[in-house]
Amino acid sequence: MTDRYHAAFVLSAVVLGVAPLGSHADETIQVKLTDTTIQLDPGSAKAGRITFDVSNVANGKTEHELVVLKTDTDDSHLPIHKGQVTESKFKKMGEVEDVKQGASKRLSVKLAPGHYVLICNRHGHYEMGMHASLVVAR
């Protein structure tokens, strides 16, 4: 009697163990473009489809943008030529351009595990500090 109960318990535990857990749900990252920064919330994500909800919350009236690059380089050490990051040296995952003050745009990309860098590549903006790193975990 006890043995049979025990066997049934083990069997149900095994069945639960192989049930799908939906581990790769879609995620949204809030991205705030300020005059001199790019702020991410949350600052990391799990691999899969990730939507960047990009808002220009800067005080200045300049338009900004968000470019997502795949690279192991730290976001503060990208190569620059005449005030702009040389995007052609990296794999570009996606971008949204011309985000006006007070406006927001969405960018949805599928990202594998790894290190990514987010920049605003308007002339001079990277050097003013508009860059951030994003680590995508398994």
Q: State the residues that interact with Cu ion by CB under 5 A.
A: 64, 120, 122, 125, 130
Q: What are phi and psi of 12, to 5 degrees?
A: -65, -30
As measured in angstroms, the least distance from the Cβ of 98 to Cu ion is 11
Q: Which residue has the tokens 């991205």?
A: 31
As measured in angstroms, the least distance from the Cβ of 65 to Cu ion is 6
As measured in angstroms, the least distance from the Cβ of 123 to Cu ion is 9
E strand or H helix that includes residue 9: helix 2-17
Quote the longest CA-to-CA distance of the chain: 80
Q: Which is nearer to Cu ion, 68 or 136 (CB)?
A: 68
As measured in angstroms, the least distance from the Cβ of 102 to Cu ion is 14
Gap between the Cα atoms of 61 and 47, Å rounded:
34
CA 66 and chain centroid, separation = 11
The residue sitting closest to Cu ion, measured at its beta carbon, is: 120
Burial class (CB in 10 A: 0-12, 13-18, 19+), 133: middle
